[in-house]
């Protein structure tokens, strides 16, 4: 018992995080600014020189104390800049150099061999601390502190003289070189003690009266009323019968008299609808469906099956999304029978994760993007960046997941795939591939490739981590389900999808495809135009909005940068020119203009990068200047999207989706931009329409031959411009485009 008591008396409990930090010698705190303490009291403790140096000094030598910041300041260079500098500015703007730091080219030598100093980083002055004294109780120390901190001097003799022997007299009436002392001190003090008087009064009030119990009442009186009501209710509960049954947290019988039952979330799909989905599977679709189903049953029965890696491929219209929905419904139902779900797990946590690279594809399968689900960074360059403090949160939400479904796998690069592998290993705490989770990859490598110069997963590269070749097994869906009633066109789709550039088109196929070729003058202007490059898209959008709309409002981006003096974000007078990844520099808005959202605002709600809509309402305000746009009301093409963003205007009866400005950092360091996350969408590139369905589209093939792996899924009634029957024969890039006519883009 004595040892236990001593342990409690001489030790303290520490958290797991602090234990790890101390074990790994990690700093327990970090500051963006250095903190410097300035001693201004003459009676303060001092540190003597080491004993080895004291023994070698003369007995009558009085320089036995180690030099500090005040001594360094007294020996600053004799230049006009340093002559006018006070001690507070010296400590805040300059740092003392030691050992090898003195060899820096920016090192400034001090007088009398007192060492070297160097100016701190621009915009990051040190925070100064100093002792505080009461003006009434200790006037001499109070005014001495002011003079030492804010009046330029070389020694303490400069702060007093025979005419004004005290610090108070010298501060109020003294002067130097024809200048009064008080204005100089006041000017320098404002830079470092802008709220000094207020803080001193607050400290004196706390010392005299103690902390104010009801101080928060003046800030939040409603909260105080709620607190008092809770206290009254708690007291009334304590006065109840002492024999009242205790509430057991693990098994609590509801004593509510309201009769309300706990909320039960209904399934997304009815059992009859799910049954019809299963019955509509063809033979190949059913094979992968039952393979996953059998694996789930083995896991529930405790047979510990090996994780699977399946790749479901096939052209557009082969029912890949249909297979995903069927597998998700069945696997979720089976895996919820696992003991951990029955005993302790929250049923709201998913057993099957539905993901995709783009927000549009994720919304189509009711999933999330890979970046949002796994908290992936924007830059995927090595080394691997762990989750850090977010690990516990992500691990709690994904700990019960067993299967990861990745749609549109063709757009996933090898760097992203490796990051998914490492992230799942970290989340699951398992060194198996992908943390022991089973992977179902779905997509078509004949479709759009990863962005930039990245190669698809199916292309082998030396010296690159290849998780695809070593693990995944392919299941190819050949039967086109979407065009069951048009066998001739379905056969054309299958033939063109796998054609090489040296193969020629059959006469019947050529005749069918040339029906979609039109002159540019005959193409309707109100139909989405699809181009190969962003330059062509911007040109068409600018020309169309100018031709169709006269009441255009130009919405300029607002760029902010932190003021190094005040630390506040200041609006720049001239807007910075952003690159293609930043929010747009300017948006041309008017009722009836077609736009596209360019950020994933809410994937679950359908407001994703690539959502199309039409501007219907523009909410503006006018305050001391030009008109400012606050909200833009959109009529989305998909009426089921944006339910959370509707009816944002009080009193308005419309059902529009209102978009606000968002803030994000730009490619320019330290610049923050505020702008609406949208751009004109009379035209777009092929990447933006991946996974979308529309009635008709105008597809320009003018520059498609310059692309490496283009895949344009045309619409039900496409209009192709800048294309002839001869260009359809020139290469694979031309042949792939018509392969999806009358199908999903």
| Boundary residue ending a domain (458, 477, 496) | 477
Question: How many CB atoms within 10 Å of residue 96?
Answer: 18
- Cα 113-118-120 angle, rounded to 5 deg: 155
In a domain, 671, yes or no: yes
Are both 500 and 590 inside the same structural domain? no
> Considering the domain boundaries, does residue 306 fall inside one?
yes
User: Does the model's pTM come out above 0.75?
Assistant: no
- The string of pLDDT tens digits covering residues 280-295 is 888 999 999 999 999 9
pLDDT at 118: 92
Positive or negative, the Cα torsion across 244, 246, 251, 256? positive
Instruction: Looking at 280-338, list the stretches that DSSP marks H as alpha helix, in order from N- to C-terminal side.
Output: 283-300, 320-335
Same domain, 163 and 281: no
CA distances in angstroms from 22 to 16, 19, 27, 390, listed in the order given: 10, 5, 8, 20
When pLDDT is averaged across residues 718-734 and rounded to a whole number, the result is 39
- Name the one residue in this structure whose structure tokens are 């019947």: 508
Beta bridge partners of 369: 356
Q: Are residues 119 and 41 in the same domain?
A: yes
- Write the CB contacts of 373 (distance below 8 Å, at least 6 apart in sequence): 353, 355, 398
For 611-656, list the strands marked E by DSSP.
612-622, 627-636
Q: Which of 363, 372, 460 is nearest to 408 (CA)?
A: 363
pLDDT band at 728 (very low <50, low <70, confident <90, very high): very low
Q: Is residue 396 domain-resident?
A: yes
Asked if 487 and 328 count as a contact pair (C-beta separation under 8 A), the reply is no
The CATH number covering residue 411 comes to 3.40.50.300
Residue 21 lies in a domain: no
Q: Give the β-pairing of 671-675 and 678-680.
A: unpaired
11 lies in some domain: no
Residues 368 and 463 grouped into a single domain: yes
507 and 579 in one domain? no
Q: Over the stretch 155-201, which tens digit does the pLDDT of each residue have?
A: 988 888 888 888 889 999 888 877 899 999 998 888 888 777 787 77
Whether 261 shows a pLDDT value over 50: the answer reads no
In a domain, 183, yes or no: yes
Q: Are residues 693 and 683 in the same domain?
A: no
Number of domains present in the structure of the chain: 4
Assigned domain for 233 exists = no
Q: Are residues 505 and 565 in the same domain?
A: no
Residue 743 has pLDDT above 70, yes or no: no
**How remote is the C-alpha of 5 from its chain's centroid?**
48
The answer to whether 361 and 321 have CB atoms below 8 angstroms apart is no
Contact 717, 515 (CB under 8 A): no
Domain that holds residue 538: 529-687
Alpha carbon 106 to its chain's center: 37
Report whether the peptide linkage leading into residue 383 is cis, meaning its omega lies within 30 degrees of zero: yes
Spatial neighbors of 103 by CB under 8 A, at least 6 apart, are none
315 in Cβ contact with 497 (< 8 Å): yes
Q: Do residues 454 and 309 share a domain?
A: yes
pLDDT at position 490, please?
Answer: 65
d(CA 234, CA 250): 22
Last residue of a domain, one of 454, 477, 500: 477
Alpha helix ranges (H) inside 365-500:
370-374, 391-398, 414-428, 467-471, 487-497
**pLDDT in the model for residue 716:** 32
Strands 678-680 and 403-407 turn out to be unpaired
Residue 181 lies in a domain: yes
The answer, yes or no, to whether residue 132 has pLDDT greater than 70, is yes
pLDDT in tens, 424-483: 999 999 999 999 999 999 998 887 788 777 888 888 887 788 889 889 999 988 877 765
Pair (583, 664) in one structural domain: yes
Q: Are 475 and 312 in contact (CB under 8 A)?
A: yes
Residue (of 333, 316, 317) closest to 278 by Cα position: 333
Read off the pLDDT of residues 546-580 as tens digits, 9 standing for 90 and up: 888 888 999 999 999 888 777 788 888 888 888 87
Q: How many helices (H) does the chain have, and how many strands (E)? A: 24, 28
Q: pLDDT tens across 209-248, in order?
A: 766 666 656 666 666 666 676 666 665 544 444 433 333 3
Residues 125 and 145 in one domain: yes
Residues 192 and 314 in one domain: no
Same domain, 578 and 510: no
For tokens 């110069």, the residue is 453
């Amino acid at each position: 018992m004595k040892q236990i008591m001593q342990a409690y008396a001489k030790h303290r409990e520490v958290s797991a995080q602090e234990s790890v930090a101390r074990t790994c010698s990690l700093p327990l705190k970090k500051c963006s600014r250095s903190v410097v303490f300035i001693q201004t009291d003459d009676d303060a403790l001092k540190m003597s020189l080491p004993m080895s140096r004291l023994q070698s000094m003369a007995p009558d030598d009085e320089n036995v104390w180690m030099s500090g910041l005040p001594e360094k300041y007294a020996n600053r260079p004799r230049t006009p800049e340093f002559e006018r500098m006070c001690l507070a500015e010296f400590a805040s703007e300059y740092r003392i150099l030691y050992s090898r730091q003195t060899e820096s080219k920016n090192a400034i030598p001090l007088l009398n061999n007192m060492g070297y100093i160097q100016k701190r980083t621009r915009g990051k002055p040190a925070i100064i601390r100093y002792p505080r004294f009461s003006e009434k109780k200790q006037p001499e120390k109070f005014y001495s502190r002011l003079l030492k901190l804010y009046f330029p001097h070389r020694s303490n003799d400069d702060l007093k003289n025979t005419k004004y022997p005290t610090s108070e007299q010298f501060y109020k009436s003294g002067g130097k070189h024809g200048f009064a002392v008080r204005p100089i001190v006041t000017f320098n003090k404002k830079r470092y003690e802008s709220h000094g008087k207020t803080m001193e009064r607050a400290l004196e009030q706390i010392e005299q009266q103690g902390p104010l119990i009801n101080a928060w009442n003046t800030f939040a009186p409603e909260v105080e009323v709620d607190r008092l009501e809770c206290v009254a209710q708690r007291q009334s509960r304590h006065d109840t019968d002492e024999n009242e049954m205790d509430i057991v947290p693990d098994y609590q019988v509801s004593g509510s008299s309201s009769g309300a039952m706990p909320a039960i979330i209904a399934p997304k799909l009815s059992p009859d609808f799910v049954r019809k989905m299963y019955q509509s599977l063809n033979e190949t679709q059913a094979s992968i469906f039952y393979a996953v189903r059998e694996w789930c049953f083995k896991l529930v029965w405790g047979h510990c099956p090996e994780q699977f890696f399946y790749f479901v491929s096939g052209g557009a219209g082969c029912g890949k999304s249909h297979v995903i929905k069927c597998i998700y419904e069945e696997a979720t139902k089976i895996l919820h029978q696992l003991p951990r779900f029955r005993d302790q797990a929250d049923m709201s946590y998913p057993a099957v994760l539905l993901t995709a690279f783009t927000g549009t594809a994720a919304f189509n399968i009711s999933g999330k993007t890979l970046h949002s689900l796994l908290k992936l960074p924007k830059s995927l360059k090595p080394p691997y960046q762990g989750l850090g403090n977010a690990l516990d949160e992500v691990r709690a939400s994904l700990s019960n997941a067993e299967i990861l479904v990745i749609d549109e796998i063709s757009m996933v690069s090898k760097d992203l795939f490796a990051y998914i592998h490492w992230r799942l290993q970290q989340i699951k705490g398992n060194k198996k591939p992908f943390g022991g989770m089973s992977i179902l990859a779905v997509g078509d490598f004949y479709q759009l490739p990863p962005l930039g110069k990245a190669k698809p997963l199916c292309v082998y590269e030396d010296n690159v981590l290849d998780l695809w070749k070593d693990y995944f097994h392919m299941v190819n869906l050949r039967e086109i389900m979407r065009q069951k009633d048009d066998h001739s066109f379905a056969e054309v789709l299958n033939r063109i999808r796998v054609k090489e550039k040296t193969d020629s088109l059959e006469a019947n196929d050529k005749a069918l495809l040339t029906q979609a070729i039109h002159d540019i003058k005959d193409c309707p202007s109100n139909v989405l135009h699809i181009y190969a490059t962003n330059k062509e898209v911007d040109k068409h959008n600018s020309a169309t909005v100018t031709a169709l709309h006269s009441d255009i409002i130009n919405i300029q981006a607002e760029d902010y940068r932190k003021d190094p003096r005040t630390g506040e974000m200041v609006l720049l007078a001239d807007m910075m020119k952003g690159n293609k990844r930043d929010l747009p520099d300017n948006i041309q808005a008017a009722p009836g203009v077609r736009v596209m959202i360019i950020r994933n605002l809410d994937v679950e709600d359908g407001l994703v990068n690539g959502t199309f809509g039409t501007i219907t309402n523009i909410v503006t305000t006018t305050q001391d200047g030009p008109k400012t746009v606050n909200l833009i009301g959109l009529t989305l093409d998909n009426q089921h999207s944006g339910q959370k963003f509707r009816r944002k205007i009080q009193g308005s009866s419309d059902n529009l989706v209102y978009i606000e400005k968002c803030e994000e950092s730009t490619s320019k360091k330290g610049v923050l931009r505020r702008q609406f996350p949208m751009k004109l969408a009379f035209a777009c590139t092929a990447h933006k329409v991946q996974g979308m369905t529309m009635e008709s589209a105008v597809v320009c093939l003018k520059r498609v031959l310059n692309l490496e792996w283009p895949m344009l899924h045309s619409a039900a009634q496409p209009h192709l411009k800048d294309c002839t029957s001869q260009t359809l024969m020139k290469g694979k890039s031309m042949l792939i485009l018509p392969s999806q006519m009358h199908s999903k883009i």
